[in-house]
Amino acid sequence: MTAAVLAHVHCGDPIDTRYCHGCGGCRYTIPLTGLTQHGAHDLGVIEACPDCDTAAELVARWRQKHPEER
């Protein structure tokens, strides 16, 4: 699986995922879902995650829960 790319919601600049904890407080967007992480958490698409999670792990979990969206 290729690594997920997170991007700033407003400018679209890529985010260095080494510094992303996947908490959603930053309002970054996961292009795969088209949702901000806040929105994804609110809908139960992506659960809260510990600091060790990476963007790729977040997307992998989302894909497991939503195989029809591949």
Question: How many whole angstroms separate alpha carbon 22 and alpha carbon 27?
Answer: 10
Question: Dihedral of the CA atoms 10, 65, 53, 31 (nearest 10)?
Answer: -20
pLDDT of residue 67: 72
pLDDT digits (tens, 9 = 90+) for 21-70: 555 544 444 554 555 555 544 444 444 444 435 556 666 777 777 777 55
